[in-house]
Amino acid sequence: MRRDCFVDLRTKNRGNYRQPIQMPPAAEIAAIAEEIRSRLNQLAAPATAEVRSLRREFSRRIAKQAPESIHKLAFILLQENSGTLRFIAYEILCHHRTAFQQLTAEDIVKLGKGLDSWSSVDTFAMYISGPTWAQGQLTDDRIATWANSEDRWWRRTALVSTVALSRRGNPGDLAKVFRICTLLVSDRDDMVVKALSWALREAAKKHPAEVKAFLAVHKQALAARVIREVNNKLTTGLKSPRNPERKA
């Protein structure tokens, strides 16, 4: 048997005959999750490139697994409060096309349980909520509900989710992006302010005139940081251009 096979086989002794017994699917998926944890723990100080390389290896090995098994694997990995395992879980789902396409809105909300940092939010929004929203698996109203949440991390999630729509550039997407941005123009939570700046800067790449008009309409409500960074993007192409008079 190949060593890299995920199916864990047990045997029964019948004299000199050993009969293989396949583990049930649930146990198999749990074994995969445990192997991922173990391999990750062997990395002393894992850099993103190392973690992604590990994820790619596992994505190849589980490519033929059923979508529901991939979902189960992701949820098992998310049981542990680990940013790195969260990253792997989201990337595994994102790169298994069938499993990704079969995520329901309820699945997606569960995948976002425990978001508690900008990094966890941004990974979730860039790999899961944004792309599924773009594909119609999440409704506009669902994202708007997040924008109205009392939880700062869900409000940030709503804004970062707009990045997927802005990058796609389909007709009608800009109105959806502006709807979410408008809901949060007066928010002064630092994590939300930074996300609003990002959302508008991303939209400005394809729709600079419309974003400029948005700034003009909401200039009394927007945080100074958002106005400064988005205007910099519109005029220089950079969020924070270097000051040529500043000494090196």
- Domains belonging to the chain, first-starting first, are 10-102 (no CATH), 115-239 (1.25.40.290)
Is-contact 133 161, C-beta < 8 A?
A: yes
The mean pLDDT value for 195-204 works out to 98
Q: Could you tell me the two tokens for 61?
A: 């090995």
Residue positions counted in the chain? 248
Tell me, what's the pLDDT at 243? 62
Distance separating alpha carbons of residues 185 and 193, to the nearest angstrom: 8
Is-contact 63 98, C-beta < 8 A?
A: no
* pLDDT of residue 28 exceeding 50: yes
* pLDDT of residue 95 exceeding 70: yes
Is-contact 19 11, C-beta < 8 A?
A: yes
* pLDDT of residue 29 exceeding 90: yes
Distance separating alpha carbons of residues 93 and 98, to the nearest angstrom: 9
* pLDDT of residue 11 exceeding 70: no
Tell me, what's the pLDDT at 24? 62
The SS3 call for residue 174 is: helix
Average pLDDT of the chain, as a whole number: 89
Q: Give phi and psi for 162, each to the nearest 5.
A: -70, -20
- The position carrying tokens 């086989």 is 9
Tell me, what's the pLDDT at 211? 98
* pLDDT of residue 87 exceeding 90: yes
10 Å Cβ neighbour count for 161?
A: 30
Tell me, what's the pLDDT at 45? 81
Distance separating alpha carbons of residues 199 and 26, to the nearest angstrom: 40
The mean pLDDT value for 78-82 works out to 92
- pLDDT tens readout for residues 151-194: 999 999 999 999 999 999 888 999 999 999 999 999 999 999 99
- pLDDT tens readout for residues 216-241: 999 999 999 999 999 999 999 998 88
10 Å Cβ neighbour count for 84?
A: 18
Rounded to the nearest 10°, the torsion over CA 193, 194, 196, 202 is 170
Helices (H) and strands (E) in the chain, counts: 14, 2
